[in-house]
Amino acid sequence: MKNGNDAGLVQSQDHKYTKLEYVEPPDRDRPESDPIRPETVEPTNSNQREASRKRHVRAWVGAALLIGLAVGAAHFGLNVIPARKAPAPAAPAPAQVVVSTALIKDIEPQLQFLGQFAAIDHVELRPQVGGTLTKIAFKDGDIVHKGALLFEIDPTPYQIKLNGGIAQLENANARLELATRELNRFNELRLKNVIPAEDLDQRVAEKDAAQAAVDNAKATVADAKFDLDHCTITAPFTGKIGTHLTSVGNLIAGSRAQTSPTTLLATIVSIDPIWVNFDMSESDYLTFLRSRAKQSGPLADKVVIAVGDENNFRREGVLDFVDNSLDRSSGTIHARATIPNKDFFLTPGGFARIRVTLGAPEPALLVPDDSVLNDQSNHIVMTLDANKKVVPKVVELGDIRNGLRVIRSGLSANDRVIIDGVVRAAPGAQVIPSNGEIKEQSEQVAEPRTN
Protein backbone atom coordinates (compact mmCIF):
# COMPACT_ATOMS: atom_id res chain seq x y z
CA MET A 1 0.00 0.00 0.00
CA LYS A 2 1.32 3.48 -0.84
CA ASN A 3 0.64 6.96 0.50
CA GLY A 4 1.51 10.36 -0.88
CA ASN A 5 5.13 10.07 0.38
CA ASP A 6 5.67 6.65 -1.14
CA ALA A 7 5.88 5.26 2.39
CA GLY A 8 4.41 1.82 3.14
CA LEU A 9 2.57 -0.10 5.84
CA VAL A 10 3.86 -3.64 6.38
CA GLN A 11 1.54 -6.37 7.52
CA SER A 12 3.33 -8.94 9.64
CA GLN A 13 1.41 -12.01 10.74
CA ASP A 14 2.30 -15.13 12.63
CA HIS A 15 0.14 -17.66 14.29
CA LYS A 16 -0.65 -15.26 17.23
CA TYR A 17 -1.44 -11.83 15.91
CA THR A 18 -0.85 -9.30 13.12
CA LYS A 19 0.97 -5.96 13.30
CA LEU A 20 0.91 -3.14 10.75
CA GLU A 21 4.16 -1.17 10.61
CA TYR A 22 5.10 1.99 8.80
CA VAL A 23 8.30 1.52 6.73
CA GLU A 24 10.21 4.44 5.19
CA PRO A 25 11.82 3.51 1.89
CA PRO A 26 15.62 3.94 1.92
CA ASP A 27 15.75 5.65 -1.38
CA ARG A 28 13.22 8.17 -2.86
CA ASP A 29 14.17 6.88 -6.30
CA ARG A 30 13.33 3.30 -5.50
CA PRO A 31 10.84 1.83 -7.98
CA GLU A 32 7.23 1.57 -6.84
CA SER A 33 7.36 -2.17 -7.46
CA ASP A 34 9.84 -2.77 -4.63
CA PRO A 35 8.20 -4.99 -2.02
CA ILE A 36 7.54 -3.86 1.53
CA ARG A 37 9.68 -5.73 3.99
CA PRO A 38 7.64 -7.41 6.73
CA GLU A 39 8.80 -7.27 10.32
CA THR A 40 7.83 -10.07 12.60
CA VAL A 41 7.16 -9.33 16.29
CA GLU A 42 7.87 -12.26 18.45
CA PRO A 43 5.34 -12.95 21.16
CA THR A 44 6.41 -12.36 24.81
CA ASN A 45 4.96 -14.12 27.87
CA SER A 46 2.97 -16.72 25.85
CA ASN A 47 1.94 -18.69 28.95
CA GLN A 48 0.01 -15.74 30.36
CA ARG A 49 -1.90 -15.24 27.14
CA GLU A 50 -2.83 -18.91 26.95
CA ALA A 51 -4.14 -18.88 30.53
CA SER A 52 -6.21 -15.78 29.84
CA ARG A 53 -7.77 -17.39 26.79
CA LYS A 54 -8.78 -20.48 28.78
CA ARG A 55 -10.39 -18.38 31.48
CA HIS A 56 -12.52 -16.62 28.86
CA VAL A 57 -13.61 -19.94 27.35
CA ARG A 58 -14.66 -21.28 30.75
CA ALA A 59 -16.63 -18.09 31.48
CA TRP A 60 -18.56 -18.34 28.21
CA VAL A 61 -19.34 -22.01 28.79
CA GLY A 62 -20.65 -21.27 32.31
CA ALA A 63 -22.90 -18.43 31.08
CA ALA A 64 -24.37 -20.66 28.35
CA LEU A 65 -25.04 -23.40 30.90
CA LEU A 66 -26.89 -20.97 33.23
CA ILE A 67 -29.05 -19.66 30.38
CA GLY A 68 -29.99 -23.21 29.39
CA LEU A 69 -30.98 -24.08 32.94
CA ALA A 70 -33.17 -20.96 33.20
CA VAL A 71 -34.98 -21.69 29.94
CA GLY A 72 -35.60 -25.30 30.97
CA ALA A 73 -36.96 -24.29 34.33
CA ALA A 74 -39.37 -21.85 32.73
CA HIS A 75 -40.62 -24.44 30.27
CA PHE A 76 -41.02 -27.01 33.04
CA GLY A 77 -42.96 -24.61 35.21
CA LEU A 78 -45.40 -23.61 32.45
CA ASN A 79 -46.18 -27.15 31.33
CA VAL A 80 -45.93 -29.21 34.53
CA ILE A 81 -46.80 -26.93 37.44
CA PRO A 82 -50.47 -25.90 37.20
CA ALA A 83 -51.21 -22.11 37.12
CA ARG A 84 -52.89 -20.61 40.11
CA LYS A 85 -56.41 -19.37 39.20
CA ALA A 86 -57.30 -15.68 39.75
CA PRO A 87 -60.11 -15.09 42.22
CA ALA A 88 -63.58 -14.61 40.58
CA PRO A 89 -64.91 -10.99 40.63
CA ALA A 90 -67.58 -10.26 43.17
CA ALA A 91 -71.17 -10.10 41.87
CA PRO A 92 -72.46 -6.50 41.43
CA ALA A 93 -74.88 -5.23 44.02
CA PRO A 94 -78.57 -5.03 42.95
CA ALA A 95 -79.58 -1.67 41.50
CA GLN A 96 -81.76 0.64 43.56
CA VAL A 97 -84.93 1.87 41.83
CA VAL A 98 -88.10 3.78 42.72
CA VAL A 99 -91.44 2.14 41.90
CA SER A 100 -95.08 3.19 41.96
CA THR A 101 -98.40 2.05 40.56
CA ALA A 102 -99.73 4.02 37.60
CA LEU A 103 -101.82 7.11 38.35
CA ILE A 104 -105.52 6.61 37.57
CA LYS A 105 -107.47 9.66 36.41
CA ASP A 106 -110.60 10.39 34.39
CA ILE A 107 -109.60 12.01 31.10
CA GLU A 108 -111.38 12.68 27.84
CA PRO A 109 -110.30 10.36 25.04
CA GLN A 110 -108.73 12.53 22.38
CA LEU A 111 -106.81 12.38 19.15
CA GLN A 112 -103.97 14.80 18.59
CA PHE A 113 -102.79 16.38 15.35
CA LEU A 114 -100.54 19.11 14.07
CA GLY A 115 -102.37 21.79 12.09
CA GLN A 116 -101.83 25.13 10.41
CA PHE A 117 -103.93 28.27 10.62
CA ALA A 118 -105.51 29.72 7.50
CA ALA A 119 -107.60 32.81 6.90
CA ILE A 120 -111.25 32.28 6.08
CA ASP A 121 -111.18 35.29 3.73
CA HIS A 122 -108.15 36.35 1.73
CA VAL A 123 -108.48 39.25 -0.72
CA GLU A 124 -106.09 40.93 -3.12
CA LEU A 125 -106.91 44.63 -3.30
CA ARG A 126 -106.85 45.68 -6.95
CA PRO A 127 -108.44 48.82 -8.40
CA GLN A 128 -111.43 48.66 -10.73
CA VAL A 129 -110.52 52.01 -12.25
CA GLY A 130 -107.20 53.40 -13.35
CA GLY A 131 -105.60 56.69 -12.46
CA THR A 132 -103.13 58.36 -10.18
CA LEU A 133 -102.92 57.07 -6.60
CA THR A 134 -103.39 60.08 -4.33
CA LYS A 135 -103.78 58.62 -0.83
CA ILE A 136 -102.90 55.60 1.35
CA ALA A 137 -105.02 55.70 4.49
CA PHE A 138 -103.54 52.89 6.63
CA LYS A 139 -100.31 51.72 8.22
CA ASP A 140 -98.81 48.48 7.05
CA GLY A 141 -99.95 45.58 9.23
CA ASP A 142 -102.92 47.41 10.74
CA ILE A 143 -106.14 45.78 11.82
CA VAL A 144 -108.67 47.49 9.56
CA HIS A 145 -112.41 47.36 9.95
CA LYS A 146 -115.01 46.78 7.30
CA GLY A 147 -115.69 49.91 5.24
CA ALA A 148 -112.53 51.74 6.33
CA LEU A 149 -110.83 53.82 3.64
CA LEU A 150 -107.61 52.24 2.36
CA PHE A 151 -106.67 53.87 -0.98
CA GLU A 152 -107.83 56.83 -2.99
CA ILE A 153 -107.41 57.42 -6.74
CA ASP A 154 -107.64 60.83 -8.39
CA PRO A 155 -111.42 61.20 -9.07
CA THR A 156 -111.24 64.19 -11.44
CA PRO A 157 -111.60 62.31 -14.77
CA TYR A 158 -114.50 60.29 -13.44
CA GLN A 159 -116.24 63.34 -12.01
CA ILE A 160 -116.06 64.93 -15.46
CA LYS A 161 -117.52 61.79 -17.00
CA LEU A 162 -120.33 61.82 -14.46
CA ASN A 163 -121.12 65.43 -15.17
CA GLY A 164 -121.33 64.65 -18.89
CA GLY A 165 -123.67 61.76 -18.25
CA ILE A 166 -125.93 63.95 -16.12
CA ALA A 167 -126.11 66.50 -18.94
CA GLN A 168 -127.07 63.80 -21.42
CA LEU A 169 -129.78 62.63 -19.08
CA GLU A 170 -131.25 66.09 -18.77
CA ASN A 171 -131.25 66.45 -22.55
CA ALA A 172 -132.94 63.11 -22.97
CA ASN A 173 -135.56 64.02 -20.38
CA ALA A 174 -136.34 67.25 -22.26
CA ARG A 175 -136.78 65.37 -25.52
CA LEU A 176 -139.00 62.85 -23.82
CA GLU A 177 -141.15 65.55 -22.36
CA LEU A 178 -141.53 67.21 -25.79
CA ALA A 179 -142.34 63.91 -27.47
CA THR A 180 -144.95 63.19 -24.84
CA ARG A 181 -146.71 66.54 -25.35
CA GLU A 182 -146.77 66.14 -29.12
CA LEU A 183 -148.17 62.64 -28.79
CA ASN A 184 -150.97 63.92 -26.57
CA ARG A 185 -151.93 66.62 -29.12
CA PHE A 186 -151.88 64.15 -32.00
CA ASN A 187 -154.13 61.81 -30.02
CA GLU A 188 -156.76 64.59 -29.76
CA LEU A 189 -156.45 65.43 -33.43
CA ARG A 190 -156.78 61.77 -34.38
CA LEU A 191 -159.97 61.51 -32.38
CA LYS A 192 -161.37 64.32 -34.52
CA ASN A 193 -160.06 62.66 -37.71
CA VAL A 194 -158.00 65.76 -38.44
CA ILE A 195 -154.76 63.84 -39.04
CA PRO A 196 -154.15 60.46 -40.56
CA ALA A 197 -153.21 57.47 -38.44
CA GLU A 198 -149.67 57.47 -39.83
CA ASP A 199 -148.92 60.82 -38.18
CA LEU A 200 -150.04 59.49 -34.83
CA ASP A 201 -147.87 56.40 -35.21
CA GLN A 202 -144.86 58.59 -35.96
CA ARG A 203 -145.39 60.58 -32.75
CA VAL A 204 -145.64 57.35 -30.75
CA ALA A 205 -142.33 56.17 -32.16
CA GLU A 206 -140.70 59.50 -31.35
CA LYS A 207 -141.86 59.27 -27.74
CA ASP A 208 -140.49 55.72 -27.46
CA ALA A 209 -137.12 56.86 -28.88
CA ALA A 210 -137.01 59.72 -26.39
CA GLN A 211 -137.72 57.28 -23.57
CA ALA A 212 -134.88 55.02 -24.77
CA ALA A 213 -132.52 58.01 -24.84
CA VAL A 214 -133.45 58.76 -21.25
CA ASP A 215 -132.73 55.19 -20.23
CA ASN A 216 -129.39 55.28 -22.01
CA ALA A 217 -128.45 58.54 -20.32
CA LYS A 218 -129.36 57.06 -16.95
CA ALA A 219 -127.07 54.10 -17.65
CA THR A 220 -124.25 56.44 -18.60
CA VAL A 221 -124.72 58.35 -15.36
CA ALA A 222 -124.74 55.13 -13.37
CA ASP A 223 -121.57 53.95 -15.09
CA ALA A 224 -119.81 57.23 -14.40
CA LYS A 225 -120.98 57.17 -10.79
CA PHE A 226 -119.66 53.60 -10.41
CA ASP A 227 -116.21 54.66 -11.61
CA LEU A 228 -116.24 57.67 -9.33
CA ASP A 229 -117.26 55.61 -6.32
CA HIS A 230 -114.44 53.13 -6.95
CA CYS A 231 -111.83 55.86 -6.85
CA THR A 232 -111.90 55.13 -3.12
CA ILE A 233 -111.01 51.57 -2.06
CA THR A 234 -112.33 50.39 1.31
CA ALA A 235 -111.83 47.28 3.44
CA PRO A 236 -114.25 44.52 2.38
CA PHE A 237 -114.21 42.98 5.89
CA THR A 238 -112.49 43.36 9.23
CA GLY A 239 -109.04 41.87 9.07
CA LYS A 240 -105.31 42.46 8.97
CA ILE A 241 -103.83 44.27 6.00
CA GLY A 242 -100.35 43.70 4.67
CA THR A 243 -97.86 46.16 3.28
CA HIS A 244 -98.77 48.58 0.48
CA LEU A 245 -97.26 47.46 -2.81
CA THR A 246 -97.34 50.82 -4.59
CA SER A 247 -96.77 54.39 -3.52
CA VAL A 248 -98.69 57.64 -3.77
CA GLY A 249 -98.23 59.31 -7.15
CA ASN A 250 -97.98 56.12 -9.19
CA LEU A 251 -100.27 55.65 -12.16
CA ILE A 252 -102.17 52.42 -11.50
CA ALA A 253 -104.18 50.25 -13.85
CA GLY A 254 -107.68 49.04 -13.09
CA SER A 255 -110.27 46.75 -14.60
CA ARG A 256 -113.72 45.70 -13.49
CA ALA A 257 -113.48 42.12 -14.72
CA GLN A 258 -109.67 41.83 -14.86
CA THR A 259 -109.83 41.53 -18.63
CA SER A 260 -106.60 43.54 -18.67
CA PRO A 261 -103.67 43.63 -16.21
CA THR A 262 -104.35 45.47 -12.96
CA THR A 263 -102.10 46.82 -10.21
CA LEU A 264 -101.98 44.88 -6.94
CA LEU A 265 -102.21 47.42 -4.12
CA ALA A 266 -102.19 45.21 -0.97
CA THR A 267 -103.65 42.05 0.54
CA ILE A 268 -106.01 41.67 3.46
CA VAL A 269 -106.95 38.55 5.45
CA SER A 270 -109.68 37.89 7.98
CA ILE A 271 -108.50 36.68 11.40
CA ASP A 272 -111.67 36.33 13.50
CA PRO A 273 -112.69 33.58 13.34
CA ILE A 274 -109.82 31.61 11.84
CA TRP A 275 -109.46 28.15 10.33
CA VAL A 276 -107.00 25.49 11.42
CA ASN A 277 -106.37 22.79 8.82
CA PHE A 278 -104.96 19.36 9.62
CA ASP A 279 -104.79 15.83 8.22
CA MET A 280 -105.91 12.57 9.86
CA SER A 281 -104.28 9.25 9.14
CA GLU A 282 -106.58 6.45 8.07
CA SER A 283 -106.39 4.71 11.46
CA ASP A 284 -107.14 7.95 13.33
CA TYR A 285 -109.99 8.68 10.96
CA LEU A 286 -111.56 5.27 11.65
CA THR A 287 -111.21 5.86 15.40
CA PHE A 288 -112.82 9.26 14.97
CA LEU A 289 -115.73 7.85 12.98
CA ARG A 290 -116.46 5.10 15.52
CA SER A 291 -116.39 7.50 18.45
CA ARG A 292 -118.44 10.10 16.62
CA ALA A 293 -121.14 7.56 15.88
CA LYS A 294 -121.58 7.07 19.64
CA GLN A 295 -121.83 10.78 20.38
CA SER A 296 -124.34 13.45 19.51
CA GLY A 297 -124.34 17.20 19.83
CA PRO A 298 -121.40 19.55 20.05
CA LEU A 299 -119.19 17.12 21.99
CA ALA A 300 -118.58 15.14 18.81
CA ASP A 301 -117.18 18.25 17.12
CA LYS A 302 -115.25 19.82 20.02
CA VAL A 303 -111.56 20.62 19.54
CA VAL A 304 -109.00 22.38 21.71
CA ILE A 305 -105.76 23.88 20.47
CA ALA A 306 -102.45 25.27 21.72
CA VAL A 307 -99.85 27.22 19.78
CA GLY A 308 -96.10 26.66 19.93
CA ASP A 309 -95.27 28.50 23.16
CA GLU A 310 -98.45 27.58 25.06
CA ASN A 311 -98.53 24.72 27.55
CA ASN A 312 -102.28 24.74 28.11
CA PHE A 313 -104.95 23.74 25.61
CA ARG A 314 -107.37 26.53 26.45
CA ARG A 315 -108.64 27.70 23.09
CA GLU A 316 -111.73 25.83 21.98
CA GLY A 317 -113.22 25.48 18.55
CA VAL A 318 -115.54 23.41 16.41
CA LEU A 319 -114.64 20.74 13.87
CA ASP A 320 -116.79 21.83 10.92
CA PHE A 321 -115.32 20.04 7.91
CA VAL A 322 -113.94 16.61 7.00
CA ASP A 323 -113.16 15.92 3.35
CA ASN A 324 -115.06 13.33 1.33
CA SER A 325 -112.10 11.09 0.40
CA LEU A 326 -108.63 10.09 1.52
CA ASP A 327 -105.56 11.22 -0.34
CA ARG A 328 -104.21 8.12 -2.11
CA SER A 329 -100.62 9.36 -2.08
CA SER A 330 -100.42 10.15 1.65
CA GLY A 331 -103.15 7.92 3.11
CA THR A 332 -104.66 10.87 5.00
CA ILE A 333 -107.91 12.82 4.95
CA HIS A 334 -108.16 16.58 5.27
CA ALA A 335 -110.12 18.15 8.12
CA ARG A 336 -110.73 21.69 9.35
CA ALA A 337 -111.84 23.40 12.55
CA THR A 338 -112.99 26.98 13.16
CA ILE A 339 -111.46 28.79 16.13
CA PRO A 340 -112.68 32.11 17.62
CA ASN A 341 -109.92 34.73 17.60
CA LYS A 342 -111.34 37.75 19.39
CA ASP A 343 -107.93 38.94 20.55
CA PHE A 344 -106.48 38.64 17.01
CA PHE A 345 -103.65 36.56 18.49
CA LEU A 346 -103.77 33.66 16.06
CA THR A 347 -102.15 34.39 12.71
CA PRO A 348 -102.71 32.67 9.35
CA GLY A 349 -99.78 30.39 8.47
CA GLY A 350 -98.92 29.62 12.11
CA PHE A 351 -98.92 26.09 13.52
CA ALA A 352 -100.97 24.63 16.35
CA ARG A 353 -101.43 21.36 18.21
CA ILE A 354 -104.99 20.15 17.97
CA ARG A 355 -106.87 17.73 20.20
CA VAL A 356 -110.14 16.31 18.92
CA THR A 357 -112.40 15.09 21.72
CA LEU A 358 -113.79 11.62 21.11
CA GLY A 359 -116.12 11.16 24.06
CA ALA A 360 -116.89 11.68 27.74
CA PRO A 361 -114.09 11.37 30.36
CA GLU A 362 -112.97 7.79 31.11
CA PRO A 363 -110.49 6.31 33.64
CA ALA A 364 -106.96 6.07 32.23
CA LEU A 365 -103.49 5.04 33.46
CA LEU A 366 -100.76 7.65 33.46
CA VAL A 367 -96.99 7.23 34.03
CA PRO A 368 -94.00 9.58 33.71
CA ASP A 369 -92.90 9.88 30.10
CA ASP A 370 -89.28 9.21 31.14
CA SER A 371 -90.24 5.74 32.34
CA VAL A 372 -91.27 4.67 28.82
CA LEU A 373 -88.50 3.12 26.71
CA ASN A 374 -88.29 2.58 22.96
CA ASP A 375 -87.47 -0.87 21.62
CA GLN A 376 -87.40 -0.60 17.84
CA SER A 377 -91.11 -0.54 16.95
CA ASN A 378 -92.41 -1.11 20.49
CA HIS A 379 -92.74 0.98 23.63
CA ILE A 380 -91.79 -0.70 26.92
CA VAL A 381 -92.45 0.02 30.58
CA MET A 382 -90.26 -1.70 33.21
CA THR A 383 -92.24 -3.26 36.08
CA LEU A 384 -91.42 -5.40 39.13
CA ASP A 385 -92.86 -8.80 39.95
CA ALA A 386 -93.37 -10.30 43.43
CA ASN A 387 -89.72 -11.47 43.53
CA LYS A 388 -88.43 -7.94 42.89
CA LYS A 389 -87.27 -8.87 39.41
CA VAL A 390 -87.56 -6.52 36.44
CA VAL A 391 -90.28 -7.48 33.96
CA PRO A 392 -90.60 -5.43 30.72
CA LYS A 393 -94.11 -4.87 29.36
CA VAL A 394 -95.01 -3.71 25.87
CA VAL A 395 -97.57 -0.87 26.02
CA GLU A 396 -99.60 1.28 23.66
CA LEU A 397 -99.16 4.99 24.25
CA GLY A 398 -101.54 7.90 24.20
CA ASP A 399 -100.74 11.61 24.44
CA ILE A 400 -99.40 13.58 27.41
CA ARG A 401 -101.82 14.91 30.01
CA ASN A 402 -100.60 17.19 32.78
CA GLY A 403 -97.02 16.09 32.21
CA LEU A 404 -97.78 12.35 32.27
CA ARG A 405 -98.00 9.85 29.42
CA VAL A 406 -101.34 8.10 28.88
CA ILE A 407 -101.09 4.30 28.61
CA ARG A 408 -103.83 2.95 26.40
CA SER A 409 -103.10 -0.77 26.86
CA GLY A 410 -100.47 -3.25 28.08
CA LEU A 411 -100.41 -2.12 31.73
CA SER A 412 -102.69 -2.88 34.67
CA ALA A 413 -103.53 -0.73 37.66
CA ASN A 414 -101.70 -3.13 40.01
CA ASP A 415 -98.40 -3.18 38.12
CA ARG A 416 -95.51 -1.55 39.96
CA VAL A 417 -93.79 0.68 37.43
CA ILE A 418 -90.14 1.73 37.75
CA ILE A 419 -90.30 5.53 37.69
CA ASP A 420 -86.69 6.26 38.69
CA GLY A 421 -83.53 4.30 37.92
CA VAL A 422 -84.99 2.66 34.84
CA VAL A 423 -81.63 2.84 33.06
CA ARG A 424 -80.10 0.60 35.74
CA ALA A 425 -82.89 -1.98 35.64
CA ALA A 426 -82.00 -4.78 33.23
CA PRO A 427 -84.80 -7.18 32.27
CA GLY A 428 -84.77 -10.19 34.60
CA ALA A 429 -82.39 -8.57 37.08
CA GLN A 430 -83.21 -8.37 40.78
CA VAL A 431 -83.33 -4.84 42.18
CA ILE A 432 -83.82 -3.08 45.48
CA PRO A 433 -87.09 -1.09 45.17
CA SER A 434 -88.29 1.87 47.17
CA ASN A 435 -91.81 3.28 46.99
CA GLY A 436 -92.45 6.53 45.16
CA GLU A 437 -95.43 8.54 43.96
CA ILE A 438 -96.51 9.72 40.52
CA LYS A 439 -97.66 13.35 40.58
CA GLU A 440 -99.28 15.47 37.93
CA GLN A 441 -97.39 18.40 36.55
CA SER A 442 -98.38 21.47 34.60
CA GLU A 443 -99.84 20.85 31.16
CA GLN A 444 -97.01 19.95 28.79
CA VAL A 445 -96.60 20.01 25.05
CA ALA A 446 -98.37 16.86 23.93
CA GLU A 447 -96.36 15.25 21.18
CA PRO A 448 -97.10 11.76 19.90
CA ARG A 449 -94.29 9.29 20.60
CA THR A 450 -92.40 8.15 17.54
CA ASN A 451 -90.55 4.89 17.10
- Between 253 and 62, the more confident residue is 253
Confidence (pTM): 0.62
CATH number at residue 341: 2.40.30.170
Find, among 284, 360, 351, 288, the residue nearest to 319 by Cα: 288
| Residue 255 three-state SS | coil
Q: How far apart are CA 140 and CA 120, in angstroms?
A: 20
CATH number at residue 424: 2.40.420.20
**Nearby residues of 415 by Cβ (< 8 Å), 6 or more positions away:** 101, 102, 381, 383, 393
CATH number at residue 183: 1.10.287.470
Residue 38 lies in a domain: no
Alpha helices in 237-350 (DSSP H): 282-294
131 and 262 both lie in a single domain: yes
- For 342, phi then psi, to 5°, come to -65, -30
- Domain count of the chain? 4
Residue 66 lies in a domain: no
- CA–chain centroid gap for 278, Å, is 15
Q: For 228-236, what is the mean pLDDT?
A: 94
Residue 55 lies in a domain: no
Kindly report which listed range (240-254, 329-343, 389-403) carries the lowest average pLDDT score: 389-403
Domain interval for residue 415: 97-106+363-435
The answer to whether residues 39 and 18 touch, using CB atoms and an 8 Å cutoff, is no
Find, among 335, 376, 380, the residue nearest to 354 by Cα: 335
Residue 256 lies in a domain: yes
Residue 134 lies in a domain: yes
Q: Which pLDDT belongs to residue 18?
A: 45
Residue 32 lies in a domain: no
221 and 343 both lie in a single domain: no
Q: Which pLDDT belongs to residue 73?
A: 56
Q: How far apart are CA 346 and CA 240, in angstroms?
A: 11
262 and 324 both lie in a single domain: no
333 and 202 both lie in a single domain: no
Q: What is the pLDDT of residues 284-337, one digit of tens each?
A: 899 888 887 777 655 568 899 999 888 778 899 999 999 999 999 999 999 999
The answer to whether residues 358 and 112 touch, using CB atoms and an 8 Å cutoff, is no
Q: What is the pLDDT of residues 335-371, one digit of tens each?
A: 999 999 999 999 999 999 998 888 778 888 999 988 8
212 and 275 both lie in a single domain: no
Residue 24 lies in a domain: no
Q: Which pLDDT belongs to residue 426?
A: 86
